[in-house]
Amino acid sequence: MIFNKDTAEKTAELLLQINAIKLNPGNPFTWASGWKSPIYCDNRLILSFPPIRNYVRDEFSKHIEKQFGKPDVIAGVATGAIGIGMLVAESLGLPFVYVRPEAKKHGRLNQVEGFLQKGQNVVVVEDLISTGNSSLLAVEALRTAGANIKGMAAIFTYGFDVADQNFKNAKVDLYTLSNYQNLLNLAVAKSYISEKEEKTLREWSVSPSTWDIV
């Protein structure tokens, strides 16, 4: 679910402007999973554009506090959400931790890096949601460490049904600054893509794991 429609539209346009989101229906990308995709999203680029990273920081800070109440800790999911998560924590005057994909094999064997006390209320910040599996592994690690998860806030989601079900099963409320639906609406309105390309992009979202260009 998006936090706010106006925020969703503006975030989508900013991501398109800096090529954090690339739409290429005629020459699809190949994801690490092997899926063919007419869209590629790299929200790490946000950190290289100060006005845009400040906008994302401020929107996260405002909506997180409104939706979840002010938590005790902000947690970022490594590696994509460490930077923006830390900016949000700084803005809210809160401690910050981040969560590795898996525990280290040496030293203190940490998966959650930073100081976290059992029972603390945590909002998790993520950059991108596809199936939600990696994001929810971070939630599981935080819960194992004793955190009370208030919810997750992400920059963008593809809006896959499987992700919705995964978050529902994990009992985690997910809110995003923008999503695939608002992106396509904005991309057509601002002539980033044609109506024919929009049709291709909508067809992909119905069954992304089996889609291929014809």
Residue 149 near residue 172 (C-beta atoms within 8 A): yes
Annotated binding-site residue? 199: no
Residue 169 near residue 79 (C-beta atoms within 8 A): no
CA dist., res. 55 & res. 105, Å (int)? 37
Annotated binding-site residue? 161: no
Q: Looking at this protein, which amino acid is placed at residue 51?
A: P
Phi, psi of 91, deg, nearest 5? -60, -40
Annotated binding-site residue? 133: yes
Annotated binding-site residue? 132: yes
Annotated binding-site residue? 134: yes
Annotated binding-site residue? 128: yes
Annotated binding-site residue? 91: no
Annotated binding-site residue? 197: no
Annotated binding-site residue? 34: no
Annotated binding-site residue? 100: yes
Q: Looking at this protein, which amino acid is placed at residue 58?
A: D
Annotated binding-site residue? 126: yes
Query: 92-95 long-range CB contacts below 8 Å, 24 or more apart?
Result: 92/61, 92/64, 92/65, 94/70
CB-based contacts of 207, cutoff 8 Å, min separation 6: none
Annotated binding-site residue? 104: yes
Distance, C-alpha 105 to centroid of its chain: 27
What residues are paired with 124 via a beta bridge? 75, 152
Strands 39-41, 73-77: pairing is unpaired
State the binding site for orotate.
130
State the binding site.
100, 104, 106, 126-134
State the binding site for 5-phospho-alpha-D-ribose 1-diphosphate.
100, 104, 106, 126-134
